[in-house]
């Protein structure tokens, strides 16, 4: 999400060289302006400016990646989500590069997960004993709508509902 001017400022303090690492498939820089010049300089990320996005554009028919540079690496292991949660983006991720996002498991993580579920069971949370990290609640009938800011979408009703559910769980 870093803007080009912010990156230029950061590179000014480098003594020898810089390395920029990121994911061009993530959120772009946020620009709160309708001015075309501001959008051009603040809304263009480093991956667009460097030509990498165009260079590796995915073919919509074959789902094959274009011609990535030699130092371009696709990361296929994640540490933040539970495996069941990671399966959701895997449904889409797989389409683009035939790779599955793997979830690393370790003793410490498994121990913390077990503690969390014991805590939920002690609170007498109905779904806690199924040990699933995902519980979908269909709010379609409530006619909530999403609003857009730049290329992002936000649904304030669902966000409020999530907060209320979290407080209910904690009580």
Q: Report pLDDT digits (tens) over 148-169.
A: 665 566 777 888 888 888 887 7
Look up the pTM and report it.
0.51
**What angle do the packed helices 4-11 and 36-43 form, to 10 degrees?**
50
**Cα(9)–Cα(68) distance, integer angstroms:** 27
67/131: higher pLDDT: 67
* Mean pLDDT, rounded, of the chain: 78
pLDDT at 139 over 90: no
- With contact defined as beta carbons under 8 Å apart, do 94 and 79 qualify? no
């Amino acid at each position: 999400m870093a803007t080009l001017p912010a990156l230029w400022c950061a590179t000014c303090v480098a003594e020898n060289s810089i390395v920029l690492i990121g994911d061009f498939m993530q959120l772009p820089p946020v620009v709160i302006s309708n001015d075309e010049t501001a959008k051009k300089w603040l809304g263009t990320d480093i991956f667009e400016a460097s030509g990498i996005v165009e260079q590796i554009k995915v073919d919509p028919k074959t789902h094959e990646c274009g011609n990535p540079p030699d130092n371009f690496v696709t990361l296929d292991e994640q540490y933040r989500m539970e495996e069941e949660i990671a399966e959701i983006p895997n449904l889409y991720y797989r389409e683009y590069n035939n790779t599955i996002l793997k979830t690393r498991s370790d003793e410490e993580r498994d121990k913390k997960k077990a503690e969390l579920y014991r805590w939920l069971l002690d609170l007498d949370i109905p779904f806690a004993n199924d040990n699933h990290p995902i519980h979908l609640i269909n709010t379609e009938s409530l006619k909530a709508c999403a609003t857009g800011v730049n290329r992002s979408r936000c649904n304030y009703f669902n966000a409020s509902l999530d907060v209320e559910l979290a407080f209910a769980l904690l009580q």
